[in-house]
């Protein structure tokens, strides 16, 4: 008797997962991981000799770059880096062309930050790969138009000197920190005109027990040992020094300190001289603003901090540190310059910044007072001589956002008063550039970088606003 064909409605046995499959396990275990650099590249004597032409304390990750260029089979590689690194561009280009089959293009346009990554221009130049130096992955690699490799260019610094400088100048005892460094700060800011400013009193870094009162000793949980609260420090930097910040946190979180020869010294401090460092434990933390790396800040991106006594910024210049000072106006900031090896107290005039921005907003409001209420077309106001607004879309790399431009345009057209505007595409903003536009453009809104309005708003003849 012939068997009937199986019915499609018949129940099928359930598949059971009893363990991991071994199919292809041999190839997986013996194969090279995608991120692992082959030994023939790491141990290439000619490549290692060529790398020696670059400064040893700058991590350009040449082995990694050569590996990715070969793996992607790139034919034309674009190199983009900030002006401070362009002195090494030709050397890196020569190394890539010598040890890969690719040609290189050096993108010489100014690169202010991670938002300036210019994969669009690289693609237009016929490049099939872009190597961006000096910034983190603010624009994810899965959103760029071509294969993109970020090289952070970490810079090695004297970590021991950094830790000792912090300990020498900032007491680990929270009470002493506020008393020695922050006391009478408000009074020192307001000095009558004509008053003589005398020399500052020397900073006394003495043993904390010598400053303890009888009440302090009475409040101690251990008889004879005063209860000391650690100074709370928040550590930040640019991407080049995030490794140094991590090392600094380890040093400050321990009651020991590395000596010059690398050995660990016990936390025994009995001297009372001004040159003796504080050997106590700090409450050090490394904040993060996603998608940035822990401790990394940008000129436009910085975390808001709470329950912090001070901020330690590792890096040179003021552009990046000003962003975290703007975000945290009540927290004192100290900057350690790894090049000059100096620790300085940094300040920011928040009142001046607020005044400049408020004046710009008031002037912009006055420009629309004469406009009637209604919702007419954006480019046909009732009065042809009425002032219009200019909405600037930044075209420098990935600075501009078309969606943000659309949002601003929608708010202007649907506002209670019809605000006529003109879209403007611009790569770099400057007072001279905007002065070329006619006077009937009364106000500009720029989407390139908020720091342009904050730092340079006073230099423009017309208000330069930015979205929040």
Virtual CA dihedral for 152, 156, 157, 162, nearest 10 degrees? 70
Domains annotated for the chain, with CATH where assigned, are: 36-151 (3.40.50.11840), 156-181+228-261+277-348 (3.40.50.11850), 350-465 (3.40.50.11860)
Shortest CA distance to 448 belongs to which of 405, 415, 412, 387?
A: 405
Query: How many other β-carbons are positioned within 10 Å of the β-carbon of residue 409?
Result: 16
Cα–Cα dist 188/345, whole Å: 14
Please enumerate in sequence order all residues whose Cβ is within 8 A of that of 128, keeping only pairs 6 or more positions apart, or say none. 72, 74, 75, 76, 77, 146, 147
- 89-99 and 62-71 helices, crossing angle to 10°: 50
Query: How many other β-carbons are positioned within 10 Å of the β-carbon of residue 245?
Result: 24
pLDDT (0 to 100) of residue 449: 92
Specify burial of residue 449 (Cβ count, 10 A radius: 0-12, 13-18, 19+). Answer: buried
- The pTM score is 0.78
Q: What is the pLDDT along the chain (468 residues), one digit of tens a residue?
A: 444 444 445 555 554 444 444 444 443 334 455 568 999 999 999 999 999 999 999 999 999 999 999 999 999 999 999 999 999 999 999 999 999 999 999 999 888 888 999 999 999 999 999 999 999 888 888 889 999 999 999 999 999 999 999 999 999 999 999 988 887 565 555 445 544 434 444 444 334 444 444 334 433 455 555 678 999 999 999 999 999 999 999 999 987 544 444 454 443 333 334 557 778 899 999 999 888 899 999 999 999 999 999 999 999 999 999 999 999 999 999 999 999 999 999 999 999 999 999 999 999 998 888 676 554 444 455 555 667 899 999 999 998 889 999 999 999 988 888 889 999 999 989 999 999 987 889 999 999 999 999 999 999 999 999 997
In SS3 terms, the chain reads as CCCCCCCCCCCCCCCCCCCCCCCCHHHHHHCCCCCCCCHHHHCCHHHHHHHCCCCCCECCCHHHHHHHHHHCCCCEEEEECCHHHHHHHHHHHHHHHHHCCCEEEEECCCCCCHHHCCHHHHHHCCCCEEEEECCCCCCCCCCCCCEEEEECCCECCCHHHHHHHHHHHCCCEHHHHHHHHHCCHHHHHCCCCCCCCCCCCCCCCCCHHHHCCHHHHHCCCECCECCCCECEEEEEECHHHHHHHHHHHHHHCCCCEECCCCCEECCCCCCCCCCCCCCCCCEEECCCCCCCCCCECCCCCCCCCCCCCEEEEECCCCHHHHHHHHHCCCCCEEEEECCCCEEEEECCCHHHHHHHHHHHHHHHHHCCCCCCECCCCCCCCCCCCCCEEEEEEECCCCCCCHHHHHHHHHHHHCCCECCCEEEEEECCCCHHHHHCCCCCEEEEEECCCHHHHHHHHHHCCCCEECCC
**Cα dihedral 318, 323, 326, 331 sign:** negative
Long-range contact set of residues 50-56: C-beta below 8 Å, sequence gap at least 24: 50/94, 50/95, 50/98, 50/99, 51/95, 53/91, 54/88, 54/91, 54/92, 55/88, 56/156
pLDDT (0 to 100) of residue 59: 96
* Edge-to-edge strands, sheet with 76-80: 103-107, 76-80, 129-133, 147-151
Cα–Cα dist 451/363, whole Å: 19
First to last CA, the chain: 81
């Amino acid at each position: 008797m012939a068997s009937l064909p199986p019915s499609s409605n018949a129940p099928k046995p359930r598949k059971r997962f009893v363990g991991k499959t071994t199919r292809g396990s041999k190839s997986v275990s013996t194969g090279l991981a995608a991120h692992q650099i082959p030994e023939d590249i790491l141990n290439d004597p000619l490549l290692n000799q060529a790398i020696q032409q670059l400064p040893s304390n700058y991590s350009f990750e040449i082995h990694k770059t050569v590996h990715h260029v070969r793996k992607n089979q790139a034919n034309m590689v674009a190199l983009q880096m900030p002006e401070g690194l362009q002195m090494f561009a030709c050397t890196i280009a020569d190394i890539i062309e010598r040890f890969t089959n690719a040609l290189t293009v050096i993108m010489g346009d100014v690169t202010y930050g991670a938002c300036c990554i210019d994969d669009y221009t690289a693609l237009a130049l016929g490049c099939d790969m872009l190597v961006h130096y000096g910034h983190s992955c603010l624009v994810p690699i899965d959103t760029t138009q071509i294969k993109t490799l970020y090289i952070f260019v970490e810079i090695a610094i004297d970590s021991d000197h950094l830790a000792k400088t912090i300990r020498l100048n900032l007491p680990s005892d929270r009470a002493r920190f506020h008393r020695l460094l922050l006391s009478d700060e408000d009074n020192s800011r307001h000095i009558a005109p004509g008053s003589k400013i005398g020399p500052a009193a020397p900073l006394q870094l003495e043993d904390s027990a010598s400053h303890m009162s009888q009440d302090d000793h009475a409040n101690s949980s251990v008889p004879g040992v005063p209860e000391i609260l650690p100074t709370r420090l928040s550590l930040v930097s640019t991407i080049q020094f995030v490794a140094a910040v991590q090392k600094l946190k380890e040093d400050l979180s321990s009651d020991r300190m590395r000596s010059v020869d690398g050995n660990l010294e016990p936390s025994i401090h009995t001297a009372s001289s001004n040159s003796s460092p504080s050997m106590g434990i700090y409450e050090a933390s490394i904040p993060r603003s996603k998608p940035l790396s822990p401790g990394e800040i940008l000129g436009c991106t910085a975390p808001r901090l709470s329950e912090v006594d001070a901020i330690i910024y590792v890096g040179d210049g003021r552009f990046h540190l000003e962003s975290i000072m703007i975000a945290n106006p009540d927290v004192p900031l100290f900057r350690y310059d790894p090049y000059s090896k100096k620790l300085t107290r940094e300040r920011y005039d928040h009142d001046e910044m607020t005044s400049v921005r408020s004046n710009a907003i008031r002037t912009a409001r006055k420009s629309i007072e004469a406009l009637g209420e209604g919702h007419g077309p954006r480019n046909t106001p009732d009065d042809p001589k009425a002032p219009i607004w200019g909405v600037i879309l930044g075209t420098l790399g990935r600075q501009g956002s078309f969606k943000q431009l659309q949002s601003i345009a929608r708010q202007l057209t649907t506002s209670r008063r019809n605000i006529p505007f003109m879209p403007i595409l611009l790569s770099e903003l400057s007072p001279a550039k905007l002065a070329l536009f006619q006077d009937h453009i009364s106000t500009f809104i720029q989407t390139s970088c908020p720091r342009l309005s904050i730092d340079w708003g006073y230099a423009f003849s017309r208000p330069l606003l930015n979205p929040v």
